[in-house]
């Protein structure tokens, strides 16, 4: 009987389920988009029940379509959108409020107040994170303050807080857990001691009764409720989506770098067995914990990657589907001097400006939708180039290549331009679903489906290698122009 590992890839705009075989090859996939809610400017919400129901449907669908019985599934692994904050009733499993999505900026002023009070250095020292509304701590504090009765109920242990992995694990198995990689994104977790930080819980006013138990990224959490799939399946792998993608890209050694081109762009470098304190406003974060060993990463986060292309589709209506952007961008020979800074949700690393807003500069009467599409595609690469530049300054070892994955990594024009801006090769793997693959690998390791990281690394294969072709002086000039465009977007919404 052929056996598989099922990966649940719960993303910001869609839920996916992918079956992987012993060779790490996809044997089936199902995907479903779910609603996004923008109740006020700067606010982004999800209905946690939409997250759960869409994820359950695609998990059932992929098993049905692949003619795989649940008894053939050795394990389930979860990879999830990170930082998004869910609060639910422990007894009923019903959410008490909409989930506050990682992109949400409603708590930016709360972060400003903490910064003014001098709290940012201690937060960074303990958590490896910048003080920013991106992370879960201020989102959870907001929910406890604004949902009627929530604080009193949380203090009595009646409510559960979790990031999306916790929410799915609870619905799948009934256990209230999170793994170390997701815990490290809450701004409440001490990455040196690998436990919830009492000092930060006090600072943010979070009762410890609401927190999940922290587990390893690869260990048995529990069995899924039998009625969900007709047969209980072990849940044995959990990691935040970017950590999962790094693991799936086999970036298991210090100095290896991957960039995921998803809704946002997330560049991570393997930093070794100890956290690296960034001096260039990158994040130091937990990668994964396996068999008692914890690996750390350096990370740079771009909030608007593929979401920029979605805006061209949904906001401007200049393309019918996201895949159309490459042809439209290639309809013009260059960007015509047009630069787009897609700071729709502020700017992430290395700027960390929640008040930046989207900017389109350099337009003339000759500007066409082709130029705007080109500027949007190039903006993804410019933002990522800033991240690698910061990593090079932080890291002790040189970067020799960057491994790329995510939906926009299929765009050859973007990948070539990215290699040109970075000055190092960009390598696209044969299996680009590396987020789901990483979750599958973590789950499979825990049950012996795969025996070792070495076995996993040997399965990684390149599909295409993009070599840099741009001259150094042109690269420097383009990055300087980009910096001027970014400068014009910063601080736009401050104290508006």
> Measured between alpha carbons, how far is 282 from 350 in angstroms, rounded to an integer?
6
Q: CB–CB of 243/297 below 8 Å?
A: yes
- Binding-site positions read 12-14, 16, 82-83, 134, 241-242, 263, 306, 310, 407, 411
- Binding-site positions for glycerol read 82-83, 134, 241-242
> Measured between alpha carbons, how far is 452 from 444 in angstroms, rounded to an integer?
10
> Measured between alpha carbons, how far is 245 from 376 in angstroms, rounded to an integer?
24
Among 182, 206, 203, smallest CA distance to 194 is for 182
Q: CB–CB of 236/165 below 8 Å?
A: no
State the number of CA atoms in the 13 A half-sphere of 45 facing the CB: 15
SS in 3 state form for 304-348?
Answer: CCHHHHHHHHHHHCCCCCHHHHHHHHCCCCCCCCCEEECCECEEC
- Binding-site positions for ADP read 12, 16, 263, 306, 407, 411
- Binding-site positions for ATP read 12-14, 263, 306, 310, 407
- Binding-site positions for sn-glycerol 3-phosphate read 12, 82-83, 134, 241
């Amino acid at each position: 009987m052929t056996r598989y590992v099922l990966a649940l890839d719960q993303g910001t705009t869609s839920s996916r389920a992918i079956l992987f075989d012993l060779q790490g090859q996809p044997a089936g996939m199902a995907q479903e988009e779910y609603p996004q809610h923008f109740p006020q400017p700067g606010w982004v919400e999800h209905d946690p029940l939409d997250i759960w129901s869409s994820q359950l449907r695609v998990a059932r669908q992929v098993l049905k379509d692949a003619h795989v019985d649940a008894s053939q599934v050795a394990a389930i692994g979860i990879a999830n959108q990170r930082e998004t904050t869910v609060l639910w009733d422990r007894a009923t499993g019903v959410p008490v409020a909409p989930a506050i999505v990682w992109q949400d900026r409603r708590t930016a002023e709360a972060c400003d107040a903490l910064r003014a009070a001098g709290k940012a250095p201690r937060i960074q020292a303990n958590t490896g994170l910048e003080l920013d509304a991106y992370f879960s701590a201020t989102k959870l504090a907001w929910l406890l303050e604004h949902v009627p009765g929530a604080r009193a109920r949380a203090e009595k242990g009646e409510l559960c807080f979790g990031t999306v992995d916790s929410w799915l694990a609870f619905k799948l198995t009934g256990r209230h857990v999170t793994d170390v990689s997701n815990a490290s994104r809450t701004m409440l977790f001490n990455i040196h001691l690998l436990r919830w930080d009492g000092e930060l819980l006090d600072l943010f006013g979070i009762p410890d009764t609401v927190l999940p138990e922290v587990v390893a990224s690869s260990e048995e959490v529990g069995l899924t409720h039998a009625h969900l799939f007709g047969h209980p399946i072990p849940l044995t792998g959990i990691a935040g989506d970017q950590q999962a993608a790094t693991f799936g890209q086999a970036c298991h050694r210090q100095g290896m770098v991957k960039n995921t081109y998803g809704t946002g762009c997330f560049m991570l470098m393997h930093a070794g067995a100890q956290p690296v304190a960034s001096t260039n406003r990158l994040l130091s974060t937990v990668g994964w914990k396996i068999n008692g060993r914890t690996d750390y990463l350096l990370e740079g986060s771009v909030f608007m990657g593929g979401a920029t292309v979605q805006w061209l589709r949904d906001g401007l209506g200049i393309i019918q589907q996201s895949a159309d952007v490459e042809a439209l961008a290639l309809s013009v020979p260059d960007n015509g001097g047009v630069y787009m800074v897609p700071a729709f949700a502020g700017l992430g690393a290395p700027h960390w400006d929640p008040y930046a807003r989207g900017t389109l500069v350099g337009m003339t009467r000759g500007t066409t939708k082709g130029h705007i599409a080109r500027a949007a595609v190039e903006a993804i690469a410019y933002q990522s180039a800033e991240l690698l530049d910061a990593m090079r300054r932080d890291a002790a070892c040189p970067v020799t290549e960057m491994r790329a994955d995510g939906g926009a990594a299929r765009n050859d024009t973007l990948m070539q331009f990215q290699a040109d801006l970075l000055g190092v090769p960009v390598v696209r793997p044969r299996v680009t679903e590396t987020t789901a693959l990483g979750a599958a690998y973590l789950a499979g390791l825990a049950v012996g489906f795969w025996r070792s990281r070495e076995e996993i690394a040997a399965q990684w294969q390149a599909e295409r290698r993009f070599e840099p072709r741009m001259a150094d002086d042109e690269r420097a000039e383009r990055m300087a122009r980009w910096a001027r465009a970014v400068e014009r977007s910063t601080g736009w919404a401050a104290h508006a």
